Amino acid sequence: MNKIYGSAAEALDGVLSDGMLIAAGGFGLCGIPELLLQAIKDAGTKNLTFASNNAGVDDFGIGILLQTKQVKKMISSYVGENAEFMRQYLSGELELEFNPQGTLAERMRAAGCGIPGFYTKTGVGTVIADGKEVKQFNGEDYILEEGIFADLSIVKAWKADDTGNLVFRKTARNFNPPAAMCGKICVAEVEEIVPRGSLDPDGIHLPGIYVHRIVQGEHEKRIEQRTTRTRENA
């Protein structure tokens, strides 16, 4: 089975549909599947729900799909640094489901393991618990969270072999693996495709069984916030 495609558009061909739920990797501006997001924008797919740690910034990441009004709902844990997101949410144009970061990651991972739900203490006694089942274990309250079973997963990795085994680089490993696991179809964009057998089996972060399509491309290196100070005179 050939998993390698020539472009992001080719890798998403026949996969996209209006109204679908997409799980997207990335943490801040690190490990964002920018090529696949651009291809979704170009395809014009609309009424999308994204499960993602963040919504990118105004001109990068999921932010480019917010600009074109292709996103209907965000399932996220952090939505700062994005003025268009704020405008759409406050005006009622965009739905938002807030999740604690650990809960969001576990909802993705659980679905990838075939687990439909789990109980957690995180969010008990807050608005996060509103409308959710509460159960006691050892005298303490836990809330039921459901796994996120996405129609499509899009992730960005550092290296891949032709079977889809993936290696992520540093912070990009936070949300990309669980996001990749929970989709019916997973498309990965990578910086480098290496020969089969060249990856250390103990260093593989996500096995190829979860990955259906791969595309290699050039990626932008962004700094989310740069803080500097004036050099003092000697």
Whether residue 134 lies inside any domain: the answer is no
Which structural domain, as residue segments, surrounds residue 109? 4-116+149-216
CATH number at residue 47: 3.40.1080.10
Whether residue 197 lies inside any domain: the answer is yes
pTM passes above 0.85 = yes
Where do the DSSP E strands lie in the chain?
A: 4-5, 21-24, 48-51, 71-76, 95-98, 117-120, 134-137, 140-146, 150-160, 166-167, 183-193, 213-216
Whether residue 233 lies inside any domain: the answer is no
The burial class, CB within 10 Å (0-12 / 13-18 / 19+), for 234 is exposed
Backbone angles phi, psi at 154, to 5 degrees: -125, 125
Whether residue 140 lies inside any domain: the answer is no
In order along its 234 residues, the chain shows pLDDT tens digits of: 799 999 999 999 999 999 999 999 999 888 999 999 999 999 999 999 999 998 888 889 999 999 999 999 999 998 877 889 999 999 999 999 999 999 999 999 999 999 999 999 999 999 999 999 999 999 999 999 999 999 999 999 999 999 999 999 999 999 999 999 999 999 999 999 999 999 999 999 999 999 999 999 887 776 666 778 877 654
Helices (H), the chain: 8-11, 34-43, 63-67, 83-90, 101-112, 176-181
Whether residue 181 lies inside any domain: the answer is yes
Whether residue 230 lies inside any domain: the answer is no
Whether residue 136 lies inside any domain: the answer is no
The domain tally of the chain equals 1
Whether residue 144 lies inside any domain: the answer is no
SS3 call for 173? helix
Q: Could you tell me if 106 and 145 are in contact, meaning their C-beta atoms sit under 8 angstroms apart?
A: yes
